[in-house]
Structure 1
Amino acid sequence: MVAEERLPTAEVNTVPVVNTATVEMHESKENAIICPVTLAEFELIPKYMRGRMALSELNDIVGKLDEFLTMKRNLLNTSFKKLSMKDKDQVSKWREQEPAPITGQLYCQEVDVKPFMKDRSKALFRTAMPCLRHVRRVREVRVKGKVYLLPGQ
Protein backbone atom coordinates (compact mmCIF):
# COMPACT_ATOMS: atom_id res chain seq x y z
CA MET A 1 0.00 0.00 0.00
CA VAL A 2 2.87 2.36 0.70
CA ALA A 3 4.15 1.88 -2.85
CA GLU A 4 0.69 2.72 -4.22
CA GLU A 5 0.67 5.98 -2.29
CA ARG A 6 4.05 6.99 -3.72
CA LEU A 7 3.06 6.44 -7.32
CA PRO A 8 0.65 9.40 -7.43
CA THR A 9 3.30 11.67 -5.89
CA ALA A 10 5.75 10.50 -8.53
CA GLU A 11 3.20 11.46 -11.19
CA VAL A 12 2.74 14.85 -9.55
CA ASN A 13 6.51 15.37 -9.67
CA THR A 14 6.53 14.85 -13.44
CA VAL A 15 4.09 17.72 -13.98
CA PRO A 16 6.53 20.46 -12.88
CA VAL A 17 9.16 18.99 -15.19
CA VAL A 18 6.77 19.52 -18.10
CA ASN A 19 6.02 23.05 -16.90
CA THR A 20 9.72 23.84 -16.57
CA ALA A 21 10.29 22.68 -20.14
CA THR A 22 7.67 25.11 -21.41
CA VAL A 23 9.17 27.91 -19.33
CA GLU A 24 12.60 27.15 -20.79
CA MET A 25 11.11 27.36 -24.29
CA HIS A 26 9.87 30.88 -23.51
CA GLU A 27 13.35 31.92 -22.44
CA SER A 28 15.00 30.63 -25.60
CA LYS A 29 15.92 34.19 -26.57
CA GLU A 30 17.75 35.53 -23.54
CA ASN A 31 17.07 39.23 -24.05
CA ALA A 32 13.65 38.89 -25.68
CA ILE A 33 11.13 41.42 -24.44
CA ILE A 34 8.24 39.50 -26.00
CA CYS A 35 8.87 35.75 -26.30
CA PRO A 36 7.62 33.76 -29.31
CA VAL A 37 4.34 31.87 -28.98
CA THR A 38 4.70 28.11 -28.54
CA LEU A 39 2.60 25.54 -30.41
CA ALA A 40 0.73 24.60 -27.22
CA GLU A 41 -0.19 28.23 -26.56
CA PHE A 42 -1.18 28.75 -30.19
CA GLU A 43 -3.60 25.83 -29.96
CA LEU A 44 -5.18 27.42 -26.86
CA ILE A 45 -6.17 30.47 -28.92
CA PRO A 46 -9.78 30.02 -30.11
CA LYS A 47 -10.15 29.32 -33.83
CA TYR A 48 -12.48 32.29 -34.35
CA MET A 49 -9.80 34.59 -32.93
CA ARG A 50 -6.83 33.41 -34.97
CA GLY A 51 -8.70 32.75 -38.24
CA ARG A 52 -6.37 31.35 -40.92
CA MET A 53 -3.25 32.75 -39.31
CA ALA A 54 -0.37 30.29 -38.91
CA LEU A 55 1.95 30.05 -35.91
CA SER A 56 4.89 31.23 -38.02
CA GLU A 57 2.97 34.35 -39.10
CA LEU A 58 2.07 35.15 -35.50
CA ASN A 59 5.68 34.67 -34.42
CA ASP A 60 6.85 36.95 -37.28
CA ILE A 61 4.70 39.70 -35.80
CA VAL A 62 6.01 38.92 -32.30
CA GLY A 63 9.55 39.09 -33.68
CA LYS A 64 8.95 42.52 -35.23
CA LEU A 65 7.39 43.82 -32.00
CA ASP A 66 10.35 42.48 -30.04
CA GLU A 67 12.82 43.95 -32.54
CA PHE A 68 11.22 47.40 -32.29
CA LEU A 69 10.97 47.33 -28.48
CA THR A 70 14.60 46.20 -28.17
CA MET A 71 15.73 49.01 -30.47
CA LYS A 72 13.64 51.51 -28.51
CA ARG A 73 15.00 50.27 -25.17
CA ASN A 74 18.57 50.55 -26.45
CA LEU A 75 17.98 54.12 -27.67
CA LEU A 76 16.31 55.18 -24.41
CA ASN A 77 19.10 53.65 -22.31
CA THR A 78 21.89 55.27 -24.35
CA SER A 79 23.21 58.61 -23.16
CA PHE A 80 21.40 61.43 -24.97
CA LYS A 81 24.73 63.07 -25.89
CA LYS A 82 25.95 59.95 -27.71
CA LEU A 83 22.89 59.70 -30.00
CA SER A 84 22.80 60.95 -33.58
CA MET A 85 20.46 63.84 -34.41
CA LYS A 86 17.95 61.46 -35.99
CA ASP A 87 17.92 59.29 -32.86
CA LYS A 88 17.71 62.33 -30.57
CA ASP A 89 14.62 63.54 -32.45
CA GLN A 90 13.05 60.09 -32.18
CA VAL A 91 13.75 59.81 -28.43
CA SER A 92 12.39 63.32 -27.85
CA LYS A 93 9.24 62.45 -29.79
CA TRP A 94 8.73 59.28 -27.72
CA ARG A 95 9.17 61.17 -24.45
CA GLU A 96 6.69 63.87 -25.49
CA GLN A 97 4.08 61.31 -26.60
CA GLU A 98 4.38 59.19 -23.45
CA PRO A 99 1.04 59.37 -21.59
CA ALA A 100 0.86 59.65 -17.81
CA PRO A 101 -0.56 56.13 -17.06
CA ILE A 102 2.42 54.37 -18.66
CA THR A 103 5.25 56.75 -17.79
CA GLY A 104 8.56 54.92 -17.54
CA GLN A 105 7.27 51.72 -19.18
CA LEU A 106 8.34 50.38 -22.55
CA TYR A 107 5.53 50.70 -25.11
CA CYS A 108 4.87 50.94 -28.82
CA GLN A 109 2.03 51.83 -31.14
CA GLU A 110 0.79 50.18 -34.31
CA VAL A 111 2.20 53.10 -36.33
CA ASP A 112 5.70 52.47 -34.91
CA VAL A 113 5.82 48.77 -35.76
CA LYS A 114 4.11 48.57 -39.16
CA PRO A 115 7.04 50.01 -41.21
CA PHE A 116 9.17 47.01 -40.13
CA MET A 117 6.63 44.45 -41.40
CA LYS A 118 5.95 42.74 -44.71
CA ASP A 119 2.63 43.28 -46.49
CA ARG A 120 1.12 40.01 -45.24
CA SER A 121 2.13 40.78 -41.65
CA LYS A 122 0.66 44.28 -41.92
CA ALA A 123 -2.68 42.77 -42.93
CA LEU A 124 -2.58 40.25 -40.08
CA PHE A 125 -1.52 42.74 -37.41
CA ARG A 126 -5.09 43.55 -36.33
CA THR A 127 -5.93 39.83 -36.15
CA ALA A 128 -2.75 39.06 -34.22
CA MET A 129 -3.27 41.59 -31.41
CA PRO A 130 -6.24 39.79 -29.79
CA CYS A 131 -4.30 36.51 -30.07
CA LEU A 132 -1.25 38.02 -28.37
CA ARG A 133 -3.45 39.49 -25.64
CA HIS A 134 -5.06 36.06 -25.17
CA VAL A 135 -1.68 34.38 -24.53
CA ARG A 136 -0.57 37.42 -22.49
CA ARG A 137 2.36 38.44 -24.65
CA VAL A 138 0.98 41.96 -25.05
CA ARG A 139 -1.38 44.15 -23.10
CA GLU A 140 -3.14 47.24 -24.39
CA VAL A 141 -3.59 50.55 -22.65
CA ARG A 142 -6.00 53.04 -24.21
CA VAL A 143 -5.45 56.71 -23.42
CA LYS A 144 -7.41 59.48 -25.15
CA GLY A 145 -8.31 57.35 -28.16
CA LYS A 146 -4.79 56.03 -28.74
CA VAL A 147 -3.82 52.39 -28.22
CA TYR A 148 -0.46 51.68 -26.58
CA LEU A 149 0.98 48.15 -26.66
CA LEU A 150 3.00 47.05 -23.65
CA PRO A 151 4.87 43.77 -23.20
CA GLY A 152 2.77 41.28 -21.21
CA GLN A 153 3.79 39.81 -17.88
Structure 2
Amino acid sequence: MSNFDLEKMVSTVDNLSTCLDVMLCLKNPEGGKEILGTYEKLDSLVISFDDQISTLKNVLIKEKNARQTYFQKQVDELKMIVDRCEHMITNIPLNSFHTNEPEHLFNQNGTKDFKVNMNNMSMSPVASSWTDMYSPTETTIHQNTMSNNTMMSAIMGHSKFHTSKQILDTPLLKLVDNDEMNSVPKYMKGRLNSLNINTVIDSINKALENKYEILRKPKSSLKKKDLDAYNDWKIQQSTVGQGQYFVTAEDITKYSETKVDKTTLNIIPILRHLKRLKESRVGGFVFYLPY
Protein backbone atom coordinates (compact mmCIF):
# COMPACT_ATOMS: atom_id res chain seq x y z
CA MET A 1 0.00 0.00 0.00
CA SER A 2 3.00 2.29 0.46
CA ASN A 3 3.51 2.42 -3.34
CA PHE A 4 -0.15 3.16 -4.08
CA ASP A 5 -0.61 6.45 -6.03
CA LEU A 6 -4.18 7.69 -5.56
CA GLU A 7 -3.86 10.66 -7.96
CA LYS A 8 -2.53 8.46 -10.75
CA MET A 9 -5.37 6.04 -10.21
CA VAL A 10 -7.97 8.84 -10.36
CA SER A 11 -6.41 10.13 -13.61
CA THR A 12 -6.53 6.62 -15.10
CA VAL A 13 -10.19 6.22 -14.14
CA ASP A 14 -11.01 9.61 -15.75
CA ASN A 15 -9.30 8.55 -18.98
CA LEU A 16 -11.17 5.26 -19.01
CA SER A 17 -14.43 7.10 -18.41
CA THR A 18 -13.73 9.40 -21.35
CA CYS A 19 -12.92 6.43 -23.60
CA LEU A 20 -16.14 4.69 -22.52
CA ASP A 21 -18.15 7.84 -23.37
CA VAL A 22 -16.58 7.94 -26.82
CA MET A 23 -17.31 4.21 -27.42
CA LEU A 24 -20.91 4.63 -26.34
CA CYS A 25 -21.23 7.69 -28.58
CA LEU A 26 -19.82 5.74 -31.55
CA LYS A 27 -22.36 2.94 -31.04
CA ASN A 28 -25.06 5.57 -31.44
CA PRO A 29 -25.31 6.65 -35.12
CA GLU A 30 -26.33 10.15 -34.20
CA GLY A 31 -23.41 10.51 -31.81
CA GLY A 32 -20.96 9.27 -34.46
CA LYS A 33 -22.19 11.83 -36.95
CA GLU A 34 -21.79 14.59 -34.37
CA ILE A 35 -18.18 13.60 -33.69
CA LEU A 36 -17.38 13.38 -37.40
CA GLY A 37 -18.97 16.77 -38.02
CA THR A 38 -17.00 18.33 -35.19
CA TYR A 39 -13.80 16.78 -36.54
CA GLU A 40 -14.46 18.15 -40.04
CA LYS A 41 -15.08 21.63 -38.62
CA LEU A 42 -11.86 21.48 -36.64
CA ASP A 43 -9.93 20.27 -39.68
CA SER A 44 -11.36 23.08 -41.82
CA LEU A 45 -10.49 25.62 -39.11
CA VAL A 46 -6.89 24.34 -38.91
CA ILE A 47 -6.51 24.61 -42.71
CA SER A 48 -7.89 28.18 -42.59
CA PHE A 49 -5.40 29.09 -39.86
CA ASP A 50 -2.54 27.63 -41.93
CA ASP A 51 -3.56 29.77 -44.92
CA GLN A 52 -3.77 32.91 -42.81
CA ILE A 53 -0.39 32.21 -41.19
CA SER A 54 1.16 31.65 -44.62
CA THR A 55 -0.34 34.93 -45.92
CA LEU A 56 0.90 36.84 -42.86
CA LYS A 57 4.36 35.32 -43.27
CA ASN A 58 4.55 36.48 -46.90
CA VAL A 59 3.44 40.01 -45.93
CA LEU A 60 6.07 40.18 -43.21
CA ILE A 61 8.78 38.98 -45.59
CA LYS A 62 7.84 41.65 -48.15
CA GLU A 63 7.83 44.34 -45.45
CA LYS A 64 11.22 43.17 -44.21
CA ASN A 65 12.70 43.32 -47.71
CA ALA A 66 11.21 46.77 -48.35
CA ARG A 67 12.64 48.07 -45.06
CA GLN A 68 16.07 46.65 -45.84
CA THR A 69 16.02 48.22 -49.30
CA TYR A 70 14.97 51.61 -47.89
CA PHE A 71 17.62 51.63 -45.14
CA GLN A 72 20.30 50.47 -47.56
CA LYS A 73 19.40 53.36 -49.87
CA GLN A 74 19.72 55.78 -46.95
CA VAL A 75 23.12 54.32 -46.02
CA ASP A 76 24.34 54.64 -49.62
CA GLU A 77 23.22 58.30 -49.74
CA LEU A 78 24.99 59.05 -46.47
CA LYS A 79 28.17 57.40 -47.76
CA MET A 80 27.93 59.52 -50.91
CA ILE A 81 27.58 62.70 -48.82
CA VAL A 82 30.58 61.70 -46.68
CA ASP A 83 32.65 61.03 -49.81
CA ARG A 84 31.73 64.47 -51.22
CA CYS A 85 32.65 66.19 -47.97
CA GLU A 86 36.00 64.40 -47.83
CA HIS A 87 36.63 65.32 -51.46
CA MET A 88 35.86 68.99 -50.75
CA ILE A 89 38.10 69.01 -47.68
CA THR A 90 40.92 67.47 -49.67
CA ASN A 91 40.66 69.46 -52.90
CA ILE A 92 39.28 72.94 -52.08
CA PRO A 93 42.34 75.20 -51.60
CA LEU A 94 42.52 78.01 -49.06
CA ASN A 95 43.98 81.14 -50.65
CA SER A 96 45.27 82.23 -47.27
CA PHE A 97 47.88 79.45 -47.18
CA HIS A 98 50.29 78.75 -50.02
CA THR A 99 52.62 75.82 -50.42
CA ASN A 100 55.61 78.08 -49.93
CA GLU A 101 54.86 79.14 -46.35
CA PRO A 102 57.78 80.51 -44.40
CA GLU A 103 59.44 78.16 -41.98
CA HIS A 104 58.25 80.04 -38.89
CA LEU A 105 54.67 78.86 -39.59
CA PHE A 106 55.62 75.29 -38.70
CA ASN A 107 56.01 74.10 -35.12
CA GLN A 108 58.56 71.65 -33.80
CA ASN A 109 56.48 68.66 -34.89
CA GLY A 110 56.58 69.83 -38.51
CA THR A 111 52.86 70.60 -38.66
CA LYS A 112 51.26 73.95 -39.46
CA ASP A 113 50.74 76.17 -36.47
CA PHE A 114 47.97 78.66 -37.37
CA LYS A 115 48.46 80.59 -34.14
CA VAL A 116 52.13 81.41 -34.67
CA ASN A 117 52.92 84.86 -36.11
CA MET A 118 49.47 85.11 -37.64
CA ASN A 119 49.85 88.87 -38.11
CA ASN A 120 53.01 88.37 -40.19
CA MET A 121 51.48 85.97 -42.70
CA SER A 122 51.46 86.97 -46.34
CA MET A 123 47.93 87.78 -47.42
CA SER A 124 48.76 88.85 -50.96
CA PRO A 125 45.98 87.94 -53.37
CA VAL A 126 48.36 87.72 -56.35
CA ALA A 127 51.33 85.50 -57.06
CA SER A 128 54.78 87.13 -56.76
CA SER A 129 55.74 85.95 -60.25
CA TRP A 130 53.16 88.16 -61.98
CA THR A 131 54.48 91.17 -63.81
CA ASP A 132 53.24 94.69 -63.18
CA MET A 133 51.27 94.76 -66.41
CA TYR A 134 49.04 91.96 -65.09
CA SER A 135 48.71 93.39 -61.58
CA PRO A 136 45.06 93.67 -60.44
CA THR A 137 43.50 96.96 -59.50
CA GLU A 138 43.52 98.26 -55.96
CA THR A 139 39.80 97.49 -55.63
CA THR A 140 40.33 93.86 -56.63
CA ILE A 141 43.15 93.50 -54.10
CA HIS A 142 40.95 94.94 -51.38
CA GLN A 143 38.09 92.56 -52.22
CA ASN A 144 40.36 89.51 -52.25
CA THR A 145 41.97 90.57 -49.01
CA MET A 146 38.56 90.93 -47.37
CA SER A 147 37.63 87.48 -48.64
CA ASN A 148 40.81 86.03 -47.17
CA ASN A 149 40.21 87.75 -43.86
CA THR A 150 36.69 86.30 -43.72
CA MET A 151 38.06 82.82 -44.37
CA MET A 152 40.73 83.28 -41.71
CA SER A 153 38.09 84.34 -39.20
CA ALA A 154 36.12 81.17 -39.89
CA ILE A 155 39.24 79.02 -39.42
CA MET A 156 40.18 80.69 -36.15
CA GLY A 157 36.62 80.27 -34.78
CA HIS A 158 35.64 83.92 -34.90
CA SER A 159 31.85 84.34 -34.94
CA LYS A 160 31.59 88.04 -35.80
CA PHE A 161 30.65 87.35 -39.41
CA HIS A 162 27.96 84.85 -38.43
CA THR A 163 26.54 87.12 -35.76
CA SER A 164 26.10 90.05 -38.13
CA LYS A 165 24.50 87.78 -40.73
CA GLN A 166 22.11 86.36 -38.21
CA ILE A 167 21.07 89.83 -37.10
CA LEU A 168 20.35 90.70 -40.72
CA ASP A 169 18.14 87.60 -40.90
CA THR A 170 15.86 88.97 -38.18
CA PRO A 171 12.62 90.14 -39.85
CA LEU A 172 12.41 93.90 -39.52
CA LEU A 173 9.52 96.26 -40.23
CA LYS A 174 9.66 98.23 -43.47
CA LEU A 175 9.34 102.00 -43.17
CA VAL A 176 6.09 103.69 -44.24
CA ASP A 177 5.93 106.24 -47.08
CA ASN A 178 3.44 109.06 -47.64
CA ASP A 179 1.40 107.13 -50.18
CA GLU A 180 0.75 104.39 -47.65
CA MET A 181 -0.19 106.97 -45.03
CA ASN A 182 -2.79 108.35 -47.42
CA SER A 183 -4.43 104.91 -47.51
CA VAL A 184 -4.91 104.91 -43.73
CA PRO A 185 -8.44 105.92 -42.67
CA LYS A 186 -8.74 109.42 -41.25
CA TYR A 187 -10.27 108.25 -37.97
CA MET A 188 -7.29 105.94 -37.41
CA LYS A 189 -4.35 108.25 -38.13
CA GLY A 190 -5.78 111.56 -36.85
CA ARG A 191 -2.88 114.05 -36.88
CA LEU A 192 -0.18 111.38 -37.12
CA ASN A 193 2.14 111.44 -40.13
CA SER A 194 4.67 109.04 -41.66
CA LEU A 195 7.48 110.47 -39.49
CA ASN A 196 5.60 109.52 -36.32
CA ILE A 197 4.94 106.05 -37.64
CA ASN A 198 8.55 105.45 -38.75
CA THR A 199 9.85 106.56 -35.35
CA VAL A 200 7.89 103.75 -33.73
CA ILE A 201 9.00 101.32 -36.47
CA ASP A 202 12.64 102.19 -35.77
CA SER A 203 12.09 101.49 -32.07
CA ILE A 204 10.49 98.11 -32.77
CA ASN A 205 13.28 97.15 -35.20
CA LYS A 206 15.93 98.12 -32.66
CA ALA A 207 14.20 96.03 -29.99
CA LEU A 208 14.02 93.04 -32.37
CA GLU A 209 17.71 93.28 -33.26
CA ASN A 210 18.92 93.64 -29.68
CA LYS A 211 16.61 90.94 -28.37
CA TYR A 212 17.55 88.27 -30.93
CA GLU A 213 21.22 89.15 -30.69
CA ILE A 214 20.98 88.09 -27.03
CA LEU A 215 18.96 84.96 -27.90
CA ARG A 216 21.66 83.81 -30.33
CA LYS A 217 24.42 84.00 -27.73
CA PRO A 218 25.37 80.95 -25.64
CA LYS A 219 23.62 81.01 -22.26
CA SER A 220 26.96 80.57 -20.51
CA SER A 221 28.16 83.94 -21.87
CA LEU A 222 25.14 85.95 -20.68
CA LYS A 223 25.07 88.18 -17.63
CA LYS A 224 22.34 87.62 -15.05
CA LYS A 225 20.14 90.44 -16.39
CA ASP A 226 20.24 89.09 -19.94
CA LEU A 227 19.95 85.48 -18.72
CA ASP A 228 16.71 86.26 -16.88
CA ALA A 229 15.31 87.90 -20.00
CA TYR A 230 16.52 84.92 -22.07
CA ASN A 231 14.59 82.47 -19.88
CA ASP A 232 11.45 84.64 -19.97
CA TRP A 233 11.59 84.82 -23.78
CA LYS A 234 11.88 81.05 -24.07
CA ILE A 235 8.73 80.64 -21.99
CA GLN A 236 6.93 83.27 -24.09
CA GLN A 237 8.14 81.56 -27.29
CA SER A 238 6.26 78.38 -26.36
CA THR A 239 3.12 80.50 -26.02
CA VAL A 240 3.50 82.46 -29.26
CA GLY A 241 4.77 79.52 -31.32
CA GLN A 242 8.17 78.15 -32.24
CA GLY A 243 9.96 79.97 -35.06
CA GLN A 244 7.87 83.12 -34.68
CA TYR A 245 9.69 86.40 -34.01
CA PHE A 246 8.00 88.75 -31.54
CA VAL A 247 8.50 91.60 -29.08
CA THR A 248 6.46 92.93 -26.19
CA ALA A 249 5.91 96.49 -24.98
CA GLU A 250 8.45 95.73 -22.24
CA ASP A 251 11.03 94.65 -24.85
CA ILE A 252 10.50 97.85 -26.85
CA THR A 253 10.94 100.01 -23.77
CA LYS A 254 13.98 98.10 -22.51
CA TYR A 255 15.91 97.48 -25.73
CA SER A 256 15.09 100.57 -27.79
CA GLU A 257 14.87 103.11 -24.95
CA THR A 258 11.46 104.19 -26.29
CA LYS A 259 8.57 104.34 -23.87
CA VAL A 260 5.42 102.64 -25.09
CA ASP A 261 2.99 105.45 -24.30
CA LYS A 262 -0.53 106.27 -25.48
CA THR A 263 0.72 107.67 -28.80
CA THR A 264 2.68 104.47 -29.50
CA LEU A 265 -0.36 102.34 -28.70
CA ASN A 266 -2.41 104.47 -31.12
CA ILE A 267 0.14 103.78 -33.85
CA ILE A 268 -0.03 99.98 -33.40
CA PRO A 269 -3.43 99.71 -35.20
CA ILE A 270 -1.98 101.68 -38.12
CA LEU A 271 0.93 99.24 -38.34
CA ARG A 272 -1.57 96.37 -38.35
CA HIS A 273 -3.58 98.11 -41.09
CA LEU A 274 -0.41 98.55 -43.20
CA LYS A 275 0.57 94.90 -42.60
CA ARG A 276 3.75 95.75 -40.75
CA LEU A 277 2.73 94.12 -37.51
CA LYS A 278 0.44 91.43 -36.13
CA GLU A 279 -0.90 91.19 -32.61
CA SER A 280 -1.27 88.05 -30.52
CA ARG A 281 -3.08 88.20 -27.19
CA VAL A 282 -2.49 85.09 -25.07
CA GLY A 283 -2.95 84.71 -21.32
CA GLY A 284 -3.27 88.43 -20.70
CA PHE A 285 -0.05 89.22 -22.61
CA VAL A 286 0.20 91.15 -25.89
CA PHE A 287 2.84 90.04 -28.39
CA TYR A 288 3.79 92.06 -31.49
CA LEU A 289 4.80 89.89 -34.45
CA PRO A 290 6.41 91.31 -37.62
CA TYR A 291 4.90 90.22 -40.95
Kindly report the root-mean-square deviation, in angstroms, between the aligned alpha carbons of the 2 structures. 2.0
For structure 2, list consecutive stretches of 5 or more residues without a partner in the other structure: 1-166
Counterpart in the other structure of 1:5: none
Deviation at residue 59 of structure 1 after TM alignment: 0.5
Q: 2:222 aligns with which of 65, 78, 83?
A: 83
1:125 to 264, 268, 277: 264
**Matched residue pairs, number?**
121
**In the alignment, what sits opposite 1:113?**
252
Equivalence for 2:290? 151
Of 176, 197, 215, which aligns to 1:58?
197
Alpha-carbon distance between aligned partners in 1 of 2:232 and 2:240, rounded to the nearest angstrom: 17
Q: Is the 8 A contact 1:114 1:122 kept in 2?
A: no
Paired residue secondary structure (1:150): strand
In structure 1, how many angstroms separate the alpha carbons of the residues matched to 2:269 and 2:238? 22
Q: What do residues 81-131 of structure 1 show as CA deviations (whole Å, max 9, x unaligned)?
A: 22222211111121123343423321111232235225xx72311110110
Please list the CA deviations of residues 5-38 of structure 1 after superposition, one character each: whole Å capped at 9, or x if unmatched: xxxxxxxxxxxxxxxxxxxxxxxxx946111112
Whether the 8 Å contact between 1:107 and 1:148 is mirrored in structure 2 is yes
Task: Determine helix, strand or coil for the equivalent of 1:74.
Answer: helix
Is 2:232 aligned against 1:93? Answer: yes
Q: Which has the larger radius of gyration?
A: 2
| Distance in 2 of aligned mates of 1:128 and 1:55 | 10
Change (3 A) 1:53 1:138: same
Match of 1:117, as an amino acid?
T
**Identical positions, percent:** 28
Amino acid at match of 1:39: N
What SS class does the counterpart of residue 100 from structure 1 fall into?
helix
- CA distance in 2 between counterparts of 1:40 and 1:94 reads 36
| Displacement after TM superposition at 1:50 (Å) | 0.8
Distance 2:280 2:236 in 1: 14
Runs of 4+ in structure 1 deviating by more than 6 angstroms, as ranges, are: none
The answer (yes or no) to whether the contact 1:99–1:143 under 8 Å persists in 2 is no
- Quick one: which of 198, 211, 226 aligns to 1:72? 211
Higher relative contact order (CA 8 A, sep 6+): 1
Is the 1:132–1:138 Cα contact (8 Å) retained in structure 2? Answer: yes
CA distance in 2, matches of 1:59, 1:100: 29
Provide Cα deviations, 1:40-75, integer angstroms capped at 9, x if missing partner. 111111111111112111111000000001111111
CA contact (8 A) 1:106 1:151 kept: yes
Inter-partner Cα distance in structure 2 for 1:101 and 1:148? 8
Letter in structure 2 aligned against 1:142: R
Answer with 99-108 or 65-74: which moved more. Answer: 99-108
Counterpart residue identity of residue 227, structure 2:
K
Q: Return the alpha-carbon distance in structure 1 between the equivalents of residues 239 and 227 of structure 2.
A: 21
* Residue identity opposite 1:125 in structure 2: T
How has the CA–CA distance of structure 1 residues 67 and 88 changed in structure 2, closer, same or farther, with 3 Å as cutoff? Answer: same
Confirm or deny that 1:103 pairs with 2:242. yes
Output the amino acid matched with 1:137. Answer: R
- My pick for the range that moved more, 64-73 or 103-112, is 103-112
What amino acid maps onto 1:141 in structure 2? Answer: S
